Structure 1
Amino acid sequence: MQTTHTPAPNTRSSATGKDYRQPFLVITFLFFMWGFITVMNDVLINSFEKIFKLSALQQSLIQLCFFGAFFIISLLYFLISARSGKDPVNQIGYKNGMAISLAISGVGCMSFYPAAQTASYGVFLLALFVLATGVTLLQICANPYAALLGAPETASSRLNLAQGLNSLGTTVGPLIGVLLIFRVFSNGVATSVSVGKTYLLYGVIFLVLALVVRFTSLPLFQNNEKIEKGWGVLKFKHLRLGALAIFFYVGAEVSVGSWLVKFLMLDHISGLSRESANYFLAYYWGGLMIGRLMGTVSLGKAKASTKYIMMALISLGVFAFIYLITGIKKDEGNITLQLLAFDNVGVFLLFLSLNYFAFLWGKSSPSRSLSIFSVIIIALLLIVILGTGKLAFWAVISIGLFNSIMWSNIFTMAIKDLGKYTSQGSSLLVMAIVGGAILPPLQSIIIDQGFIQLSFLVPLVSYFYILYYGAVGYKPKA
């Protein structure tokens, strides 16, 4: 998942023309880290199920706690800006804001270690909420900062590239998390201690990053201009409908990622063990990376023929990367390469081809692409609900390919023509991420009744609404 907070329209760098490659390199690593730590929730869900003997509803509290923090923190941010007419991040500066956000994330991660000593699920959830608070603030700071690091006309390109690094984090996150929790810090079985040690390591990384950002020479980009007060932003219908689209999209994306492993473990789907099924999260989240990088090229200024070749190379190149890294295993203390038989991924390659042609059919139009991708996901979910075996196995994984452009397209259409209300509108859209806290628990209720496949009706309904927004709801009204 990727969020964007747009800076005030008048914000400008006071050092135009400077070389910002080093600062941008630092920022892209931040994008990587919050993608990495967010997708670890899927690994936690499947680890805590056995550790604490949880029902699906109890497992879903992980996403409720994490994405609930997004809503609470963003709501507070929105209320402060609406009442004061000032953007809090602009007041303290983006650099300071990022350093503080990273420190909070680090404290949240390190709190997992004492939680492990108490072996309390509730304490783990509290630590997760603190972690999510830091990640929320980090996204509010880092997205506009990346946009400001260079010429305004290339801001979209920089954000797309940074989002690609975010997707890289979501791809390798499950693999590293499984390796640390199941192998490095335990002997094949997840324990509260192995989870605590893993997050302690992550916490150290976040705190080091906080120091790097604080003491690295980065542009400050501080702006004290007032923004629009009050609730006037709510008068825009396409923004209100867009916030609902974000709610359903994030909820559906997180729901599929949360319960994908449980689905893959079904005997009539694959019968994989929990540890083995976790590795396929990399294909689901890696699909988002493939799509985002292809979207970057699709929206570029290159000739059509050059775009098509570059998009094909990106698609195959990233797939090859995922195929190789998912083959890395730790067995009896030795790191080995155990690649899947290539015919096992044949169906995924077919969906990869469909993803390529979907981009061509979309013709670089956000609304058209959103509609096409929604229709394809609806078809994939019907296969998931009704199918069996290899086709259903790869259908649920391939949803990630078509989720890739949804956040950016919905967000872009929702803030169109907001003018002076753009900053508040962005905060409203970030609040809608709370869908990730609400839809997984709804799906879990169905799962607890023993209907794992039917539970995917929850994200199915979500994509029907997204289809409506891409076809009709996005149009601004005078």
Structure 2
Amino acid sequence: MAQVKKYTLAIVLITSLFFFWGFIHNLDPILIPHLRNAFSLSHFQASLVDSAVFIAYFLLAIPAGLIMQKFGYKSGIVVGLSLFAIGCFLFVPAANTMEYTFFLGALFVVACGLTILETAANPYMTVLGDPTKATQRLNFAQSFNGLAAFLAPIVGGEYILTEEPKSAEEIAALSEQARNLYIQTETASVKGPYFILGLIILAVTVVFVFTKLPDKKEEEGTSSGGVFRAFKHKNVSWAVVAQFFYIGAQVCVLSFLVMFATDVSGVAPSDAKYYSGAAGLAFMLGRFIGTFFMRYIAPTKLLLIYALLASVLTLVVIYGTGMLTLYALIGIAFFMSIMFPTIFAVGVEGIGADTKSASSLIVMSIVGGAVLPPVLGQLSDSTGSFQLAYYVVLLCFIVVALFAWNNRKSHVSETAGGH
């Protein structure tokens, strides 16, 4: 009982981090169409929001791991939260300058903070308490990530999205003075939500600074040969590739959903945020239900089934019409839910001293979220068809299905990690 009380406050505080980074990530589907409208962006240009966010995971994953090893989890969390708050505050000058590139810079700073937070919080949660219940604690914390995925688009849409946005043609027809005033009004709506979030994160940072947490530094690894030594394990190599494509698919599906709802399914801009929230809810439910199914079905077998079903639904997105395509996207969100943690768990299974190196490499592969959305955006712009561009997503799910098939003999029984 004393052991439980010792870790309770730390577990509560770390769990809150899962909610906060889930919330900021799931504001992106609202921010992307808003900035696209304000600056009259192409699909490719709008997709750079995701690139600014996910390139940070590639650049910061290994440095974040080194911070954990040298200074411990608490220091890493404080550094991550500080960058998170600073990035949120940078949205104010970005809005004042009315320059799209400044918004991308602010998002990059936020994402640097999130990379360090995720690198610290996931393993820290596993060592806080009974080792036999580590995965249970992690899955519980991830449920708050799912809750944020449901709430963020609705809250963000209420305070950021314009009720009746002007089309690119209407904006182009305005005088220069009227156009600047319109852009100023649109970008100003972003300042309040991100500034308030920055204040909240700053307050959370102060709480972590003055709260005594269990000091659990990363143990020194016994593996030699550098971080890339982990590639000698076949399951690690496969997991890096599969995670690259999975995160690319996740970002393409969730980040473009509001734009897809308005451009393809004919949903009013003021209502699109609710469908994005529904996708977040489907994602959260999918994780709970998937975890339950794993009691009876091998995780890799379930992953294969989910990847194939997601592929079928992607074909509906490409060739369907009207609201059916939007419902298919929400269905895809459900079947994506178990993919990241299952790929992660299989990737680090049975590799001993190379586990930390493999973890860093798999986190770095999240850069797929920076690379593949611009490919989808460019394909949409060049073909003139938003739906045909989702062949990029179909390819991603085929890669995940191949990963599941090639690792079908894996003995991993529970998932760990999460995104």
1:328-407 paired onto structure 2 within 5 Å:
363-407=296-340
Change (3 A) 1:265 1:112: same
2:140 & 2:238 partners in 1: Cα distance? 27
Report Cα offsets for 1:6-57 as digits up to 9, x if no partner.
xxxxxxxxx9555422221111111000000011111111100111111111
Which of these residues, 150, 161, 179, is aligned with residue 129 of structure 2?
150
Q: CA deviation at 1:96?
A: 1.9
Which of these residues, 19, 44, 48, is aligned with residue 57 of structure 1?
44
Moved more, 90-99 or 417-426: 90-99
2:162 & 2:41 partners in 1: Cα distance? 22
Matched, 1:468 2:402: yes
Runs of 5+ in structure 1 lacking a partner? 1-14, 79-86, 301-362
Matched, 1:46 2:33: yes
Q: What amino acid maps onto 1:379 in structure 2? A: V
1:97 corresponds in structure 2 to 76
Moved more, 31-40 or 194-203: 194-203
Q: CA deviation at 1:62?
A: 0.4
Moved more, 95-104 or 389-398: 389-398
Secondary structure at 1:220 match in 2: coil
Q: CA deviation at 1:212?
A: 1.1
2:234 corresponds in structure 1 to 237
Which of these residues, 86, 101, 105, is aligned with residue 122 of structure 1?
101
Runs of 5+ in structure 2 lacking a partner? 166-181, 411-419
Report Cα offsets for 1:385-412 as digits up to 9, x if no partner.
1111332221111111101111111111
Q: What amino acid maps onto 1:424 in structure 2? A: S
2:160 corresponds in structure 1 to 181
Q: What amino acid maps onto 1:462 in structure 2? A: C
Report Cα offsets for 1:218-274 as digits up to 9, x if no partner.
21212453442323211111110111000000000100112222222246x3x1122
1:21-32 paired onto structure 2 within 5 Å:
21-32=8-19
Change (3 A) 1:22 1:372: same
CA contact (8 A) 2:7 2:128 kept: yes
1:410 corresponds in structure 2 to 343
Matched, 1:291 2:286: yes
TM-score by length of 2: 0.88
Q: What amino acid maps onto 1:26 in structure 2? A: L
Secondary structure at 1:265 match in 2: helix
2:254 corresponds in structure 1 to 257
2:4 & 2:276 partners in 1: Cα distance? 41
1:197 corresponds in structure 2 to 192
Which of these residues, 87, 90, 94, is aligned with residue 108 of structure 1?
87
Q: What amino acid maps onto 1:262 in structure 2? A: M
CA contact (8 A) 2:316 2:325 kept: yes
Q: CA deviation at 1:277?
A: 1.1
1:211 & 1:227 partners in 2: Cα distance? 35
Q: Superposition RMSD on alpha carbons, in Å?
A: 2.2
Q: CA deviation at 1:199?
A: 0.9
Which of these residues, 274, 288, 294, is aligned with residue 269 of structure 2?
274
Aligned length: 389
- Identity over aligned residues, as a percent? 36
TM-score by length of 1: 0.77
Q: What amino acid maps onto 1:469 in structure 2? A: F
Secondary structure at 2:27 match in 1: helix
Moved more, 433-442 or 447-456: 447-456
More helix by share: 2
CA contact (8 A) 1:247 1:434 kept: yes
CA contact (8 A) 2:245 2:396 kept: yes
CA contact (8 A) 1:43 1:178 kept: yes
CA contact (8 A) 1:238 1:475 kept: no
CA contact (8 A) 1:161 1:296 kept: no
1:295 & 1:473 partners in 2: Cα distance? 18
2:220 corresponds in structure 1 to 225
Q: What amino acid maps onto 2:186 in structure 1? A: T
Q: What amino acid maps onto 2:401 in structure 1? A: L
Q: CA deviation at 1:201?
A: 1.0
1:359 corresponds in structure 2 to none
2:175 corresponds in structure 1 to none
1:198 & 1:23 partners in 2: Cα distance? 27
1:395 & 1:235 partners in 2: Cα distance? 38
CA contact (8 A) 1:414 1:474 kept: no
CA contact (8 A) 2:283 2:333 kept: yes
Q: What amino acid maps onto 2:15 in structure 1? A: T
2:101 & 2:233 partners in 1: Cα distance? 40
Which of these residues, 114, 119, 135, is aligned with residue 114 of structure 2?
135
1:249 & 1:223 partners in 2: Cα distance? 28
Q: CA deviation at 1:475?
A: 5.4
